Each structure stands twice: as structure tokens, then as C-alpha cells.
């Protein structure tokens, strides 16, 4: 489970509740009222599982679910282990444990509804605002879709305020109110970009806490965003696909994922569906610069619905027409918690878990099956001056809050605090004007600037260096690839450069009364007798915070030989 704590406004009714952790308007802890709604399941294929999921006597269910509240709480590892140790010492039956966990937390009806403001304490110690819409008719007897929207301009120095987050509701706010789904809007900033560890863990932790506090369907969680928010959604699809049912990037670029410092591979997008929109007149990410990557994705078999909208720039004014199509697509998607096929490709520095497959070791010297690793050539779609702008400056012109080292701006003599008044003889009225001007300048060309520095007006000259195309994603580290397929009690692994893996085994797809048969690159490895492990069941449920994705055992495999 990822770190992070909620803190914010909570209703007076919530504050009166004893031993109830209150944070950000979210009820966390074991004081939730009890709901007996079970997930509808039909697993006649496994008689043992059918018995495991049969509804127990309600009094027994209530008592066990109350004890299992620790699984869904955010506890220190030592405290969690101590509490589950006490629980396991009573020797509960595995079937009863599984059934109670599968029912999920006991959710309260007494929770904030409507638009709720809060603050998330991130792993860097900083608190960042968030905004979430809770359906006004929320009822924990049913489960709800969650759509997360990541805002653009995520490298800005300050996180968006609650008021600024409210201004982004025009993307999906009305739809959330109309259709009754949860809508999460986190806040990022420089140092907590969506593709950074801090930024990505922030949003993933928020999703976990929401799912523990409200009856959100873990199989209908989606990420969307515009510009940097779209690029952030691509990053989550590449590195953290397990929690999500699908991704909707709007006017972003998958290549931005490299900015996170991890070695990413397009093969990672095979695991989840995407609905992608770009526009032909976008000065930041024009469709022509994105199309080679879309072609590469389709070549890998990525489930992608791609739309190139003509006549629009880097702005979302096409949404009134496209939004109904996007919503129709979202409603058709549902995550498979135990997919039949998983594919992972990476160097070992990236997150190495996709659903029931964990990669534990990469050894590029181990040869095996062949995997594609498309890496389109690209160069920046537009020149970059190398400055950050003071968004609070009212004008005229654009005031610089930062001048990047080794940039055209630095070479031209620009300094922090300078105000850009004109470029190439054209007056700069706003940030949009500057962006448009930079979009019309070519690499290898010169430029002139009129700048206000204090009481002085300066004339500066500079040059945008020529840039050669190069592979979009750095390949500085050895990497490996693996495909895992399951059918009945057989798992077939196809790999290259992977030394060790672990399989997380769920009784919902594997029959624990029969042996598990394993093959690696077409070679029979061995048969394994499966055993249910109650402690692992609880520990992994605590890590995943997902009652629809429970595992009864973990099997480690050394792919260098049958060890």
C-alpha cells in the first residue's frame, strides 16, 4: 500500500464518531456501518471456491469483517502484523476469511457528499490539495465508477489551490453530477509531476483511500487528463496499470513518460485499453508528432481507440462533441482483476508488478523468446526557450520566474525577473502569445527579444540550436521481457532477460485442489501443489486494498533453471 495521509474538512457528524480516523472528508478505519452486499460471483468451475464464497451466517460475517477492518486501514507494518497475528491465532477458516475479505470494508452511509475539498500529505512531507465529487445519492449498497482527472501545467512551482482545481471541473464535473460517478481531481506541481515518484504515488494513494472509504468499484477506475495530465495518464498506463480499467489521454504525448527518470517501454501499454485524442494544430503535441507512436502501439496489439481532431490547437474546446463518445467508451470498459494475459518489459528500475505477475530479477544475458521494443525516432515538436513564467504576473508581457541553465534563454542573457515584451518584433501580450510565437520558430534559427529589466529596456539576441532526431526513450540499461498466460491450472511464460518472477495465485482462477502446471519458453518446468496461505491472503489484501483481487498464495520461480 502506498504512503500518504488525508487531512481536511470533515462533517460535524463524522467528528462525533469515536475511534474513526477523519481525513479529507473520508471515513477511514473500522467504525463504518455494516453493509452485507456481496459481490455477485459465479464460479461453479471450482466447487471449493463456490463454498468459500457462499454467504456465511450474518452474525459471524459481521464479527469477522469487524476484525478484518485492519486490512483496509493505513497502518504501520509492525502494528498491522501484530493485529493479524492476533486474528490468525484464533484459527479462522480460510473460506470464512476469504469470503469476509471479498465483501470488502464495512462502509458508512454518513459521509460527505457533493464536492469535497481536502489535502493529501505526500511522501515528500508536503501537503497538496485535492477535490473529489461524491454522488449526492451515494449508497454503499451499490458500487460506483471513479474517474480521475489530472490537470495540465504540472511543472508549475506551486500546487493548484482548491479554487484552481474547481476551475478544472468543466472537463467532467457536470457529467459526474449527471451520471452519479466519483470524480477525483488531484493537484501536482514541480517535484510532484504525474510522472515522478512523488506525484504518481500521491494519486495512487488517493485512489486507495477513496476505495477504502467509499464503495467504489475497483474494476471501474479510470485516469484521464489534458496536456500534462494526458501525459501523466500515459505514464500510469506504462508503469502502474493494475489499478485501472482504462486511460483517456487528451492532447498529451506518451514520450513525456521518459521525464520520470525510469526506462519505459511501449510494450507496457498492452495491458490496458486507451482512448486517445490529439489535434492537428496543437503547437505543443501536434498529431503528426504523435502518429508514429500510435502506429507503434497498434503494431504491438495495444487496445487503442485513437482520434485526431482537425482544426483545433492545444485547447479542449472540442470536448462538447467528443465527450459523449468518450463517456460511451468508458461505460463499456471493465477491468479484469485476473487477466488471462500479462506482458511486462523493463530494466528492473520501473515498478515490476502487473496484476498476478511480479518480476523479481532482470538478467539481459539470459536469451529466450523474441519481443519487439519499438522506439520511434523523434525530436522536440517545438523549440524551447528554457524559462518558467510567473503565472501571477498581470502584464504587460511575461515575467520570468526561472531561467534554465544551458538553455537558449540563458545564452541570450535572460535573467530571473526579466519581463518579455516582444519576440522577433511581435508584442508578447500573454503566455498564449509567447507559446504561439515559439510554435512558429524552427530549430537552428535566430531570435530577437525586447526585455524589461527594472527600469531598462534591453534588446537581446539568441539562437535555437539545431536538433537531430533520436530514439524517444533512452535505452541506457539492460532490460528484459516476459509474457504470462494462464488457462485453467496452466501458466505459460515466454521470456527473455528475466531471471526470477513471482506468481500471485487467486482461487478465483486457479483450482487449489489440482496441481499448477508451468511452462517457460515452451519447456515444461514442473507441477506445483498449491496451498492456501491465510497470512499471505491478509498481507497482500492490505497491500493491494482491493477486495476484488485477492490472492491465496505466492509462488517464486527461478527462470534460469528448475530451482
pLDDT in tens, 134-162: 999 999 999 999 999 999 999 999 999 99
pLDDT at 385 over 80: yes
> Is residue 26 very low, low, confident or very high in pLDDT (cuts 50, 70, 90)?
very low
Q: What is the mean pLDDT of residues 31-36?
A: 32
User: What are 541's three cell numbers?
Assistant: 489484501
Domain range annotation of the chain = 58-103, 114-335, 360-373+472-558, 387-467
Closest among 3, 244, 22, 25 to 132, alpha carbons compared: 25
The model carries a pTM of 0.82
State the SS3 of 517-543. Answer: EEEECCEEEEEECCCCCHHHHHHHHHH
> Is residue 53 very low, low, confident or very high in pLDDT (cuts 50, 70, 90)?
low
pLDDT at 1 over 60: no
CATH architecture of 114-335: 3-Layer(aba) Sandwich (3.40)
Q: Which distant-in-sequence residues (6+ apart) come within 8 Å of 406 by Cβ?
A: 386
**How many Cα atoms sit within 13 Å of 152 on the Cβ side?**
16
Torsion sign across C-alpha atoms 58, 59, 64, 69:
positive
pLDDT at 311 over 70: yes
pLDDT at 55 over 80: no
pLDDT at 14 over 70: no
Closest among 456, 251, 235 to 351, alpha carbons compared: 235
387-467: CATH class? mainly beta
pLDDT at 256: 96
Q: Which of 17-31, 167-181, 447-461, 465-479 has the lowest mean pLDDT?
A: 17-31
Per-residue pLDDT tens digits for 436-464: 899 889 899 999 999 999 999 999 999 99
Helix (H) or strand (E) holding 458: strand 456-463
pLDDT at 449: 98
pLDDT at 381 over 80: no
Q: What is the mean pLDDT of residues 117-127?
A: 94
> Is residue 559 very low, low, confident or very high in pLDDT (cuts 50, 70, 90)?
very high
Q: What is the mean pLDDT of residues 285-301?
A: 95
Amino acid at each position: 500500500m502506498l504512503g500518504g495521509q488525508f487531512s481536511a474538512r470533515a462533517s460535524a457528524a463524522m467528528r462525533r464518531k469515536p475511534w474513526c480516523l477523519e481525513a479529507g472528508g473520508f471515513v477511514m478505519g473500522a467504525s463504518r456501518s455494516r453493509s452485507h452486499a456481496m459481490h455477485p460471483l459465479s464460479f461453479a468451475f471450482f466447487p471449493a471456491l463456490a463454498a468459500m464464497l457462499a454467504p456465511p451466517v450474518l452474525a459471524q460475517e459481521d464479527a469477522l469483517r469487524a476484525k478484518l477492518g485492519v486490512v483496509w486501514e493505513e497502518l504501520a507494518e509492525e502494528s498491522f502484523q501484530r493485529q493479524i497475528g492476533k486474528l490468525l491465532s484464533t484459527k479462522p477458516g480460510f473460506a470464512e476469511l476469504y469470503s469476509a475479505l471479498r465483501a470488502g470494508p464495512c462502509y458508512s452511509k454518513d459521509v460527505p457528499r457533493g464536492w469535497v475539498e481536502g489535502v493529501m500529505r505526500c511522501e515528500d512531507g508536503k501537503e497538496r490539495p485535492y477535490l473529489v465529487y461524491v454522488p449526492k445519492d451515494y449508497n454503499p449498497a451499490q458500487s460506483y465508477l471513479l474517474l480521475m482527472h489530472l490537470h495540465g501545467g504540472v511543472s508549475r512551482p506551486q500546487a493548484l489551490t482548491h479554487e484552481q482545481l474547481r476551475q478544472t471541473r468543466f472537463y467532467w464535473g457536470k457529467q459526474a453530477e449527471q451520471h452519479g460517478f466519483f470524480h477525483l481531481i488531484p493537484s501536482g506541481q514541480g517535484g510532484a509531476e504525474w510522472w515522478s515518484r512523488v506525484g504518481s504515488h500521491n494519486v495512487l494513494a488517493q485512489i486507495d483511500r477513496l476505495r477504502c472509504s467509499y464503495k467504489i468499484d475497483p474494476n471501474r477506475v479510470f485516469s484521464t487528463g489534458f496536456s500534462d495530465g494526458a501525459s501523466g495518464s500515459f505514464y500510469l498506463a506504462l508503469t502502474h496499470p493494475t489499478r485501472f480499467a482504462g486511460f483517456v489521454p487528451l492532447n498529451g504525448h506518451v514520450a513525456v513518460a521518459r521525464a520520470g527518470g525510469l526506462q519505459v517501454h511501449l510494450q507496457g501499454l498492452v495491458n490496458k485499453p486507451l482512448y486517445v485524442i490529439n489535434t492537428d494544430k496543437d503547437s505543443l503535441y501536434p498529431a503528426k508528432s504523435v502518429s508514429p507512436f500510435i502506429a507503434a502501439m497498434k503494431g504491438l496489439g495495444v487496445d487503442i481507440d485513437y482520434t485526431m481532431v482537425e482544426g483545433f490547437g492545444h485547447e479542449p474546446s472540442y470536448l462538447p462533441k467528443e465527450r459523449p463518445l468518450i463517456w460511451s467508451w468508458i461505460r463499456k470498459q471493465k477491468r479484469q482483476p485476473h487477466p488471462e494475459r500479462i506482458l511486462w518489459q523493463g530494466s528492473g528500475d520501473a515498478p515490476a508488478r502487473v496484476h498476478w505477475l511480479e518480476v523479481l530479477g532482470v538478467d539481459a544475458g539470459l536469451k529466450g523468446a523474441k519481443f519487439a521494443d519499438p522506439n520511434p525516432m523523434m525530436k522536440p515538436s517545438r523549440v524551447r526557450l528554457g524559462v518558467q513564467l510567473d503565472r501571477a504576473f498581470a502584464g504587460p508581457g511575461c515575467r520570468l520566474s526561472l531561467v534554465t541553465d544551458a538553455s537558449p534563454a540563458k545564452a541570450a542573457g535572460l535573467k530571473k525577473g526579466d519581463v518579455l515584451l516582444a519576440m522577433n518584433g511581435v508584442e508578447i501580450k500573454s503566455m498564449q502569445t509567447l507559446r504561439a510565437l515559439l510554435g512558429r520558430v524552427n530549430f537552428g534559427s535566430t531570435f530577437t527579444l525586447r526585455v524589461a529589466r527594472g527600469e531598462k529596456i534591453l534588446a537581446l539576441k539568441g539562437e535555437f540550436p539545431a536538433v537531430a532526431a533520436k530514439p524517444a526513450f533512452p535505452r541506457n540499461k539492460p532490460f528484459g521481457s516476459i509474457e504470462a498466460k494462464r488457462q485453467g491450472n496452466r501458466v505459460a511464460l515466454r521470456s527473455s532477460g528475466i531471471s526470477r518472477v513471482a506468481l500471485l495465485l487467486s482461487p478465483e482462477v486457479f483450482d487449489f485442489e489440482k496441481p499448477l502446471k508451468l511452462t517457460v519458453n515452451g519447456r515444461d518446468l514442473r507441477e506445483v501443489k498449491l496451498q492456501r496461505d491465510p497470512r499471505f491472503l491478509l498481507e497482500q489484501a492490505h497491500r493491494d486494498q482491493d477486495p476484488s483481487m485477492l490472492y491465496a498464495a505466492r509462488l517464486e520461480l527461478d527462470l534460469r533453471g528448475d530451482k
